[in-house]
Amino acid sequence: MEIMVDCYLSWDIEFTTRVAERVRDLDIKWFEDPLQNGWATESNRILRDRISPILLATGNLEYHPKAFHDIIHNHATDIIQPELQWMGGITPGRWVAAMAKPYDMPVIPHGASVYNYHFVMSNTNSPYAEYLSVGKGEDIQPIFGILEGEPLPVNGKVTLDPNKPGFGVELKRELLAPFKS
């Protein structure tokens, strides 16, 4: 099993470097978003060199293709993690994947959703998808209660039903409330 550490944009270069030195023998795969996004391209590039062989994963709070281009082109991460639902969907996610491919950079969408699973299965440079546990962690539950038919992982793998149209899910319309102004 691979171990990844989500730092949630709350560390700095010094702290991340110190943690990397202390956990180097634990075979941590990556640190996810240790630094604040947006202004941190140069800092992430420096940090990436300091924490190696631990990889750096960033990008979940970036929203524009130009920001991803800056990160990728400047080698400011090892793994790019767009949040598809926040950046405009699969189309801009595909743009990011196309930018990352010449750099042999994996694209692993941030967060979990059926949309991310479809994205990962359609990209050669997306080795796997994240899955977030919800509830008390005692069993695997759907991420979004408003979706009917969301695929759940079995033994670490998600299978998409090719016979279902679109993303293979439906809205639970009974949970929708009419908009009132």
As annotated, the active-site residues are 110
DSSP 25: G
User: CA-CA distances (angstroms) from residue 86 to 22, 89, 90, 93, 133?
Assistant: 34, 7, 10, 10, 20
Residue 19 CB partners (closer than 8 Å, separation 6+): 11, 31
Residue 140 CB partners (closer than 8 Å, separation 6+): 133, 152, 153
Tokens standing for residue 126: 């997306």
Mapping DSSP to helix (H, G, I), strand (E, B) and coil, where does residue 67 land?
A: helix
Identify whether the C-beta of residue 132 lies closer than 8 Å to the C-beta of residue 153: no
